[in-house]
Amino acid sequence: MNDPQPDKHPLEQAQPRKQHPLEQQPVRPAGEPRQRVNLRIPSVSPTVTYVLIAINVIVFLIRAFSPRIDEQLFLWGANHASDIFLKGEYYRLLASMFLHAGIFNEYGNYSLGYSVHLIFNMYILYAVGVSMERLFGHTRFLIIYLLGGLAGSVASALFGGDNAYSVGASGAVFAILGAEFVYLWHHRQLMGAAGRERRRTLIVLAIINFAGGLISQIPGSGSDLLIDNWGHAGGLVGGLILTWVISPILNLRRHPDHPDELLGEDINPLRKHYWFVSIYATVLVVLTFVGVYLARR
């Protein structure tokens, strides 16, 4: 079945502003009371989200077997600028996204408080990722998670300092938060007041996290873990840029089999933007080799 093509892309409207497809309401006779209309939006099960959570948890549990395993995996995969740029260990940019603060303290004893790092990231990934993957689809969601997370890793390696070891899925999680913000913005007319409130919540959440990162850097702040604001910022910016281009944009039309329902169809399919994803990934590679050049000067 061929989707109807709008005269102009919703994001390219000129003045006077044409109505966004998501603003359109079914025409009803004057005086007739407004009726609730069901909206069907294609969705998928959040399989990728569950797999990502499982990988992060399994890696954490493997490290919990012993302090030695914990230390070895940390030193092998943590994001560390000199190892990446001087030794060519580029795999760390990806591996560090699946490592978190270990469960052992400096004395080799269990310290459950350190698991908060994993719990917080996985909670946000579950809370936001489930709904985002349903709307974005498996491939588009995974692209944003991985490439957004890699943008955070590259930013952390470039600006985080030569002696810093950084781990965590925070950059990728921030990319997903950025994706939700962009999706809500693209569909702001449909979402209305609820969408505006959610966007404000996302902004406040980002501000709180960045503020917490700055506070954690202050000597005597009492924080056991330093928050990698460069990783967060890189992931957020990467997610915003990617999603602005590849986000699904829904066009509403009458459902062909259920006239009393509306069908939301994506008029911005991912296949139209593989070129942009390739350019984005190429930019990350270029930035990585900029880091190599600067480190070896």
Token representation of residue 236: 């957020």
Please indicate whether residue 255 is annotated as part of the active site: no
Q: Classify 143 as helix, strand or coil.
A: helix
The closest of 6, 1, 98 to 53, measured between CA atoms, is 98
Please indicate whether residue 100 is annotated as part of the active site: no
Annotated catalytic residue within 156, 232, 247, 273:
232
Q: How far apart (Å, rounded) are the C-alpha atoms in residues 101 and 103? A: 7
Annotated catalytic residue within 153, 156, 170, 247:
170
The closest of 53, 76, 279 to 172, measured between CA atoms, is 53
What's at 113, amino acid-wise? Answer: G
Q: How far apart (Å, rounded) are the C-alpha atoms in residues 283 and 86? A: 20
Whose structure tokens read 């404000």?
200
CA angle in degrees (0–180, nearest 5) for 138-277-233? 85
Q: How far apart (Å, rounded) are the C-alpha atoms in residues 239 and 146? A: 10
User: Phi first, then psi: what are they for 40, rounded to 5°?
Assistant: -105, 125
Instruction: Write the CA distances from 124 to 86, 87, 118, 177, 211, integer angstroms.
Output: 34, 34, 10, 9, 18
Q: How far apart (Å, rounded) are the C-alpha atoms in residues 52 and 32? A: 49
What's at 99, amino acid-wise? Answer: L
Q: Are 85 and 164 in contact (CB under 8 A)?
A: no
Tell me which residues are annotated as active site: 170, 232
